Structure 1
Amino acid sequence: MFVRTVYATGDPAQIESAIRALNSEGRSLLEERPEYRGAGVFVDRDLGKLLAVSWWGSEEARRNSDQVMRERRGPMLEPFAGTVAVENYEVAVFHTVQLPRVGGGVRMTRVEFDPADTDLFIETFRSSGVPRLETLPGFARCALCVDRQRGRGTVGVLFVDRASMAASRGGQAAARRQDVAKARVTVVALEEFEVVHADVHTVQADVHAG
């Protein structure tokens, strides 16, 4: 699979308007596109941050869908968004234990690495990171997404509730410390969001892209 992420920041008082637009007009537009595989909306209401993720069956489908979404993205995010950043990734690992829930939590880790070490990073996360995450209470789903050309990636870990996410911070930090050294990656950002919507369908429990 392939994903597109839209990261917007703005006035926290206006974030609900963006959430409503993405969950109504935005979802309808996405569902009309070929090879659409689902979407997620995650927010930090206190700081005014919104992360929208859409999942696609092929790189071509993702690219074609962006031609439509690019025109509507600005109006849907108004008047909330002051900044908007769009990025594209390949889904290297996708693993689900249980379905995420509205009101749950997601921890996003942004990393950078030498493009030559992409496969090392993927294999380390698949063989070491995923088993450790499965031991965390409340763990629901994780996904590793990579940009092989730029040497960038994201690790998203979803929990069924925000209390479980908070309780997992120490455990995931310990796993992160070991895995980043082994995989030769650098953590450049760590964020947490509330799950507003998370749905990915017609995929296997695990996706490994080499």
Structure 2
Amino acid sequence: MMHARSYTIHARSSALDAGIEYIHDTVWPALSGLDGYVGLSLLVDRLTGRCIATTAWRTEEAMNASRRPTQEMRDRVAHILGGSPTVDEWEIAALHRENHSGPGACVRVTWARVEPELAERAIDGYRLATIPALTELDGFCSASLLVDRDSGFGVASAAFDSPEALRASRIASDAIKLATVRDTGAEVIDECEFDLVLAHLRVPEMA
């Protein structure tokens, strides 16, 4: 069972490029040397300054062991970007790649919650219904689901190969989301669209 840590920060717009450069040039190489590390992604909404950096780990133990050696880098990212970070830890419940994302890729992220006792049903629904429906959309690249089973919170992400494909998918994606909510009893909390700035993930298929 693989795990992920997401680091969310609302940055100053003027600091975004410096933060991206630091994560690419310093954080990413440093993470690559840690036991159990399997990937890094960085999502950026330049309009609002909202950034989400997510690291993936082979086991929960590896993720826990990474906290101390990565603390200084996390503090440095917060200093550069000029925001107060929120850190969340997740189980990677599903991941499917239809195509590898390249430059210009964008991601729609949806935060939702179900009653904890319904978490397994919601995960199965995402794997068996939501992902197959997403693969039918033009420009679709990949989808993932991160969950906290104890609280029932989850984060679903769908990547598309261009801003145009992301925009064109909105109506169909809303229909897929409504069907998921109906079938799983999920409550959608938030949704946001991002540029996929970094995507260096070696997480295997989990769908």
Query: TM range, normalised to the smaller chain?
Result: over 0.9
2:95/2:144 contact within 8 Å kept: yes
Aligned twin of 1:151? 152
Aligned twin of 2:54? 53
Aligned twin of 1:107? 108
Query: How far has the Cα of 1:81 moved from its partner?
Result: 2.8
Aligned twin of 1:90? 91
Structural mapping, 1:182-197, within 5 Å: 182-197=183-198
Q: Which has the higher strand share?
A: 1
Q: Does the alignment pair 1:9 with 2:10?
A: yes
Query: How far has the Cα of 1:102 moved from its partner?
Result: 2.4
In the alignment, the residues of structure 1 paired with residue 9 and residue 104 of structure 2 have an alpha-carbon distance, to the nearest angstrom, of 19
Query: How far has the Cα of 1:204 moved from its partner?
Result: 3.1
1:129/1:179 contact within 8 Å kept: yes
Q: For 1:183, give the aligned amino acid.
A: T
Q: Secondary structure at the match of 1:78?
A: helix
1:9/1:83 contact within 8 Å kept: yes
Runs of 5+ in structure 2 lacking a partner?
Answer: none
Q: For 1:34, give the aligned amino acid.
A: D
In the alignment, the residues of structure 1 paired with residue 109 and residue 82 of structure 2 have an alpha-carbon distance, to the nearest angstrom, of 20
Aligned twin of 2:128? 127
Query: How far has the Cα of 1:200 moved from its partner?
Result: 1.4
In the alignment, the residues of structure 2 paired with residue 76 and residue 114 of structure 1 have an alpha-carbon distance, to the nearest angstrom, of 34
Q: For 1:204, give the aligned amino acid.
A: P
In the alignment, the residues of structure 1 paired with residue 57 and residue 196 of structure 2 have an alpha-carbon distance, to the nearest angstrom, of 20
1:105/1:162 contact within 8 Å kept: yes
Q: TM-score, normalised by structure 2?
A: 0.96
In the alignment, the residues of structure 2 paired with residue 92 and residue 125 of structure 1 have an alpha-carbon distance, to the nearest angstrom, of 9
Cα 1:185–1:24 shift into 2, 3 Å: same
Between 64-73 and 152-161, the greater mean CA deviation after superposition: 64-73
In the alignment, the residues of structure 2 paired with residue 112 and residue 157 of structure 1 have an alpha-carbon distance, to the nearest angstrom, of 17
Aligned twin of 2:163? 162
In the alignment, the residues of structure 2 paired with residue 76 and residue 172 of structure 1 have an alpha-carbon distance, to the nearest angstrom, of 33
Between 62-71 and 103-112, the greater mean CA deviation after superposition: 62-71
Q: For 2:80, give the aligned amino acid.
A: P
Aligned twin of 2:204? 204
Query: How far has the Cα of 1:135 moved from its partner?
Result: 0.5
Q: Give deviations 1:2-31, integer Å, cap 9, x for gaps.
A: 111000102111111111111111102211
Query: How far has the Cα of 1:45 moved from its partner?
Result: 1.1
2:78/2:84 contact within 8 Å kept: no
Please report the RMSD computed on the Cα atoms of aligned residues, expressed in angstroms: 1.1
Q: For 2:48, give the aligned amino acid.
A: L
Query: How far has the Cα of 1:76 moved from its partner?
Result: 2.6
The number of equivalent residue pairs is: 206
1:112/1:151 contact within 8 Å kept: yes
Runs of 5+ in structure 1 lacking a partner?
Answer: none
Q: TM-score, normalised by structure 1?
A: 0.95
